[in-house]
Structure 1
């Protein structure tokens, strides 16, 4: 469960990233990355879903030392709930990941043995990392 900022900072220094609520995903989006190992089947399924539901690229303005957005383009952090716009067709790595268990996604042999290549989600689904403000 998310505690005080001081508790969160202490946990992060120890390598613990528990943003869950009562052990379940809080939907905070802290785990959402632009680079994910996904299969070609997942790419096709997500592309169909994006087109059918008219989903647009989400841009994030987090303070960063890099000039581009490293957050998943499907994370709508303006929403309180249901932030992940492709939740119904989310990639396997997203289904397996739980932030309070750092070994969650690591248990998936297909993901950890490089069966799927990591892809740039913005490039694959929206044609690049277009973050001009």
Structure 2
């Protein structure tokens, strides 16, 4: 994807990667990851991540009913580590437990990266999640329609 730096991932004592979180990259590389996802896994004419996988992972209409928005959570749907927005347009986010986020709108080719962090791992109990979501909805509304 054209990363400018090596990313890191927390590993266990035996060197196994911990897949549930703890991935670290530069701000620009998080943006590049978002743009890779916004372009359905392609960059520079080369398919890096299989497109069908990303469509399956990021389109709530391809998920089992239990993973649809309003079912998986009171608001988001869920697919393969992606949080899926309700609505006809395919929009999704990667959400860290402290609020770090990558928001993606593939149609608009729009990405927002948030590296700020909340005080607690349960972001839903703070205003941070609401404020972060309001900024994203405002940006999408400015360049497209919600």
TM-score (normalizing by structure 1): 0.31
Tell me which protein shows more strand as a share of its residues.
2
